[in-house]
Structure 1
C-alpha cells in the first residue's frame, strides 16, 4: 500500500492512486458493486463495503461510518447515471488532493475511500477515457463495462448474452410486425 504523508502536519496520510493499477478498472469494479441481475448491493452495509475495499487493496481506509457509506452510494449512483448517458442527480463535491512526490511527480490522492474513487474517476477523465466506461442498456443486466473498441461504439456488456438477447427480441418483433401487416 502506497501511503504517503501529505507533508502537512496534523493531516491523515494520503493514499496515492498508483496502488490500484488501472483506475478505469477500479471505477468499473466500483460501479458493479450494484448487481441488478443478482439483486445484490455491496454498499448495503458498512461491513460489505469495507470488505470490498480490502479486496481491492484499499483496506487502509476506514469505511465503517454511515457518512462514508452514504457518500459512496451517492458517488456510485451519480457515476452509474453518467455511464448510462443519463444526467447526474446534482453536483457533488468530493474531496481529492494533489500530492507532489519528492521526485517531482504529481499524483491525485485522497485520505478517504470516496475521495480515492473520485481521484480514480478524475484520472480516467483527464486521460480522456471516461466515455469508455458504460452501463449495459439491458434492463435485467445494467452491468458496467469498459469499452475497448477502437471507435468506442460497444453497447453491450456481452454481445454473447445481452447483445444476442436484444437482437433476438428485435428479430421476433420484426417478424410479428410483418405477420400482422
Structure 2
C-alpha cells in the first residue's frame, strides 16, 4: 500500500498526537493559525479543525489502549501498477491513514503515550519486545521510579 503524502506512517502519527503537549499545557491545534501552520509544516491541508480535534482525541485514546469512536473522515483509494494508493489531503485524513497503514503492518501497538501522568507525550516504541513505557527513561522513567520509591517509603 502506498500513500500520496510524504510523511504518513509512525512519524506523522506521533507528530500529530503530540500537537497536544500535556506537560506544557499547549495545543498546536487550539486556533486556526496554529492549526494551519502545523498542517503546512507536515505537507497536508488543515481541513476542519473540530473534526481534526476529534480524530486526535480518539487516536490518543486508541494508542493508550482505550476504546474510542473514531470520527469518519474521507479517505480515497486508487489502484496503480502493482499498488493501491491511499490518498489523504487533510491533517485528520493523514492521521487516520497513518493509523490504518500501521495497523495493517501490525505496528500501531508500538505507538504509545508516555506512562508519566504529567507527560503523556506520544512516541514510537522501537524496543525489541515493545515494552517501553516512557518517552524518555532519563526523564519520565526516573520521575516515576522516584515517585514509586517515595510512595513505598511513606506507605
Is the contact made by 1:94 and 1:115 (CA closer than 8 Å) also made in structure 2? yes
After TM superposition, the score normalised by the length of structure 2 is: 0.91
Q: Which residue of 2 aligns with 1:27?
A: 13
Q: Does 1:141 align with 2:127?
A: no
Q: CA deviation at 1:117?
A: 2.1
Q: Which residue of 2 aligns with 1:43?
A: 29
More displaced stretch, 30-39 vs 117-126: 117-126
Q: Secondary structure at the match of 1:108?
A: strand
Q: CA deviation at 1:92?
A: 2.7
Q: Which runs of 4 or more aligned residues in structure 1 lie more than 4 Å from their structure 2 counterparts after TM superposition? A: none
Q: Which residue of 2 aligns with 1:16?
A: 4
Output the CA distance in 2 between the equivalents of 1:121 and 1:109: 13
Q: Does 1:99 align with 2:78?
A: yes
Q: Secondary structure at the match of 2:57?
A: helix
Q: Which residue of 1 aligns with 2:132?
A: 154
Q: Which residue of 1 aligns with 2:87?
A: 109
Q: CA deviation at 1:122?
A: 0.6
Output the CA distance in 2 between the equivalents of 1:62 and 1:163: 34
Q: CA deviation at 1:91?
A: 4.6
Output the CA distance in 2 between the equivalents of 1:100 and 1:123: 16
After TM superposition, the score normalised by the length of structure 1 is: 0.78
With CA pairs under 8 Å and 6+ residues apart, which has the higher RCO, 1 or 2?
2
**What are the ranges of 5 or more consecutive residues in structure 1 without an aligned counterpart?**
1-14
Output the CA distance in 1 between the equivalents of 2:26 and 2:88: 28
Q: Secondary structure at the match of 2:134?
A: coil
Q: Secondary structure at the match of 1:29?
A: helix
Is the contact made by 2:76 and 2:86 (CA closer than 8 Å) also made in structure 1? yes
Is the contact made by 1:110 and 1:116 (CA closer than 8 Å) also made in structure 2? yes
Q: Give the number of the structure whose alpha-carbon radius of gyration is greater.
A: 1
